[in-house]
Every structure is written in structure tokens, then in C-alpha cells.
Structure 1
């Protein structure tokens, strides 16, 4: 095992779960949660902070500020604590309580937006608040994960090459679309070095990222109410949209076999399974999906039955919950 001196120096990049026995389809799930921040967002956070330091825009007098639904906020909280920066995370009322507490435990200030913008939703309101803070005080430094090219560069440099090394015969890669940093980094790398690989984006119904109509979304992570500036759809071969009840059912289906994953993972796996049923009837393709995080931060939401019934109704767990073991 490595010896490290800063938490951002450690990340397991070669762990995959073979889901064939669980789903009845060959699908390898790349697990990105095994680091001290607990999610794939550590890569982007470390890359964006390092670039800001190199440019001189971030120094000891700076106060980092960022809009996040949770995981990037945790990653930046951890890095800020390690490096001695102050950090303000601007989130909204959908952020999990465990996530807010974790950021505060790391010394960060969490500002929660409770009212959505009439046009841009909660994300628009969060960005407006961040912009106002930066305009009011020059000490604030906004990394802007939605437009910062170092977000996607982190995955161009690390995530995509790691997948290709492990699966040189890869046919399809499924990536969830949030800020689209992971998606764009992987898509750009594979377009350049392995163009035969198809990139399928998985998004939540209600997200406007790929032009769909906005509607209520309660599970943080994937989807946006403001189209990400770094998205270039020319790099994406297909898009699958997943309803949140299907996300919940997939999370519980995985948990019933011992894999407690987060909501984004449930969305990606659900979308990937549906895409494979439509496009790979002969079970011939080698496929990988990226899992952003684990499920502990979702115990009060995705894995809490009263919350699920209040949000989605009594039948949300009717399918797949007690699927018998083969």
C-alpha cells in the first residue's frame, strides 16, 4: 500500500464490479468511490485547485467558493482542509444531510439555497449566489466546475486511459451526465485514441442538459437545470434518460446483492441496462459503466422508505426489491 501525506494523493483507479450475475448482462462497473472524498469528484477537484494555484488566482488569502450538489463540495472541503484554505460550498435543499455534515466536519461553511430560480432552478440560484459573493469580495475564488476545462481534463488524463488499459477491446462506455466533466473527458480521450468506442451519456428525466424539458428532480448528482458550458454533444453517440423511480429501484436491486451504491450509480446502471436490452440482444459487446460514489450518503433518501413513499408513492419499490438469488 502507498504511504501518503495528503488525502488527495490516494485513489483506487482499477476496481471493477462484474454485474453479469446480478443483471443477466455483461456490464463492468468502474468504482470511483475509494478515496478519502468518497467519489469521482476528487479527480476534478484536485485538478482544478492545482491549476488555480499554478495560475496564481488561488493563494493563502483566497476563499474558495463553489456550487455543488454534494460530492464536489466534499472533495473541495477535504482539499481545502489539507491545504489550509477556507471554503464555502453553495448547495441547495436537495443536498443530503450526511453530505452537509461531512463538509462542515472538514471545516467548510455550507450555504443552502432554499428557493429555486424561476428559470434556472436550484442550480441557477446557486450560481447567482456564487457570482454575487465573488462580485462583493475579491478574496472569493470560484473554480466553476460547470465551465472549467480542468474538470474534464482530469478524466482525459486519468479516468479514460485507466479504462482503456483494463479493457482494450471496449465497445461501449456509459457515463452519467452532471457537470459533464467526466463525460467530456472520457469522450474526448476515446475519440482521439480509440474512436471505435461508443460513448453513451446517461441523464435524469427532468434535466435540461440534452434539451429535455425541466421537471422536479430530488436525487442529487446527475442532471442539471442549466446546460453545462463544457458539454459538446458531438462527442456523445447516444443519450439515455432515466426516471428517478427507476434509479431508486436499481439502487435497491444492487443493495439486495450487497452493493450499496449512490443514486448516480443507480441511474447509470439503469440506463446502461436499458440501452443493452435495446442494442445488444446477442450479448456480444464489452461494456463499462462509471460508478461515481457509494450509498452511505443516501441512507436518509434513496434508502429511506418513508422518504421514498413521500416523494414517489407507495409503489416505488414494488419492482426488483426482493429479487431472488439465482
Structure 2
């Protein structure tokens, strides 16, 4: 029986959902949404905070600040409350209202950027705002999840080994790409310990992470308007791009079977299903996809008909938007 005294002390490492009956293809979904703060971002948040404490950068009286589209901000809010730090989250207008309210409930201050930069979109605008806060007050400590090696170390230390313990004969691992912390941590571990396992990154259409053209994205979590500094494509075997309507359709397909997952999970599952359909060749591969979050924070967006149709059009709920399996850009 787990007993904890701080919210960051509990991660659910051993829960998987068998999606074969839902998708018609074998896929095990590693559920990270039951971590105490509700997402896989709890692992990176703890690792980065504790690294900053060990280095002396973070100490009593300092103020944590970070850019987040939602889940990391919630995790850091809970950790900051537990440890007695002030926390300022810089997000943007795409952040779910539920995530903002959770952060505020933990005592965090939320700054919402409403105008994207022409070059780099909302992420570039958020990063500029964080830099301005740090320049104005020396008490601010920016963890910078986009360049912080502790981000991927968390998954190298815990997430990948946990998958390996559960599936020692794994063939393919699907991981969503945002900051690429989860992707790089898992990919580096597998290339070192199980190099035959294929690592497939799942990204959103409109993200520039893998050298594809930018386009508006409305579902927070995966994707990036700026190339992730942590990304090393030599550790990635394939990339699948998922249009956001396909994310919505997959989330709702899972919900129709009683599984309410978040937008990032819908993207990963959609991309994994498409990759398996194209690469399975009749062979039953052992495949795992990492689910970053659950769906309660998306009730007003992904699971709201008016929002979906207002953003993507009246036909958005029809199955017309298949993911695309792409080769990695040459020379990137």
C-alpha cells in the first residue's frame, strides 16, 4: 500500500490498457495520467526541481517560473506548493481552463500570452515573456524544460526501464513529441539497452519539431512552434504526423469504449494505429504507446462538439483526417 507525504512521490508505472479490441491492432497503452498530479510531466518536473535544488539555483525565497501549455504547469504548481516555493506559469490562450484553475488552486500565478510571434508562434512569445520576468527580478529561477537535460533524464531513469520490465520483448515504442524530453529519455535508453526496438515519434501537423512547415495548432501538449533543443533525430526511427481532427476522433473513439484520455494521448494512439497498419505486415508486433494524460482537462475542448466544429469545421468529427507516416527530414 503506497503511503506518501508529498504529491510527487507517487507515479503509476505499471498500468497498461490493451487497445486491441478498440483499434483492431495490438497496442498496449502505458497510462501516465494516474501519476499524482495527473500526467507524465510530473516526472520531469520533479527531476528538474531537485536538480535545481542540488545545484543551489533553487533555494528558499526564490520563485520558480516556467513556460507550459498545461500539464507541466500543473505538476510544478503542486510541487511548488508542497515545497513552499512561489510558482509563476507562463502559458497561452490554448491552455485548457481546467489546467489554469488547477494551477491557481495550488497557489500558482498564471500569466496567459494571447498573441503569438510571427516566427515561433505562441511558444516563442511565452519564452520571451519568461525571459522578461527573469530579467526584471533576480529571484526568478527558470527551469527551462526545453533545454534542461533533467527533462529527459527523468524518463531515461524511470519511464523506459518501466516499459522494459513490463515488455522485455518489445518491438516498437510510440512516444509523443513536445519538448521531446520523454521521447529522448526513452529513445536514448532503448538505443543503449535494446537497440532492436524501433522508436517512433508522434507529432502534430503544424509542429516544426521535425522540420515540417508551421501551421496553427489548438490542442495543447504535443508539437512545437520552435525546434526542440533536446531533440536528436539519430535516436528516432520514424515520425508520424497527426492532424488535430484525427486526435479528436481518436479521443472520442477511446471514450466510446469507456477510456477518457487527453489530447496528447489521442495524438499518440492515432499515430501508432496508423504506423502499425502500414508496417505490421500481418505480423503481431509487441507495441507500446505512452499515454501522457487523462481526459478530464479536455472536456471543454476535445470532447465538446461546439468547440470542435468551431475550430475545425462541421466535418471535423467525420473520419477524414488520417495521420501521415513520414521519413525523417534529410540533413536535419
Residues 95-147 of structure 1: CA deviation (Å, up to 9, x unaligned):
00011001000000000000001101000000001011111111000000000
1:318 to partner: Cα distance: 2.4
Equivalent position of 1:125 in the other structure = 125
Deviation at 1:11? 1.2
Give, in whole Å, the separation in 1 of the partners of 2:59 and 2:102: 24
Cα distance in structure 2, aligned partners of 1:11 and 1:159: 10
Report the 3-state secondary structure (helix = DSSP H, G, I; strand = E; otherwise coil) of the residue aligned with 1:95: coil
Corresponding residue for residue 12 of structure 1: 12
Partner of 1:211: 211
Structure 1 residue 202 corresponds to structure 2 residue 240? no
- 8 Å Cα contact 1:26/1:283 also seen in 2: no
Describe the SS at the equivalent of 1:288. strand
Spell out the pairing of 1:163-178 with structure 2 (5 A cutoff).
163-178=163-178
**Would you say the 8 A contact 2:246–2:319 is kept in 1?**
no
Deviation at 1:54, TM superposition (A): 0.3
Name the structure 2 match of 1:52. 52
* d(CA) in 2 for partners of 1:2, 1:291: 22
| Contact 1:123 1:224 (8 Å CA) reproduced | yes
The answer on whether the counterparts of 1:250 and 1:270 sit within 8 Å (CA) in structure 2 is: yes
> 2: distance between equivalents of 1:165 and 1:2?
20
CA RMSD of aligned residues (A): 0.8
State the Cα deviation string for residues 155-187 of structure 1 (Å, max 9, x = none).
Answer: 000000000010000000000000000000000
Deviation at 1:200, TM superposition (A): 0.2
Give distance in 1, aligned partners of 2:306 and 2:42: 31
Alignment correspondent of 1:311: 311
Partner of 2:253: 253
Q: Which runs of 5+ in 2 are unaligned?
A: 321-332
Gaps of 5+ in 1: 321-326
Ranges of 4+ aligned residues in structure 1 off by more than 3 Å: none
Under a length normalisation based on structure 2, what TM-score does the superposition of the two structures give? 0.95
Matched, 1:144 2:157: no
Report how many aligned residue pairs link the two structures: 320
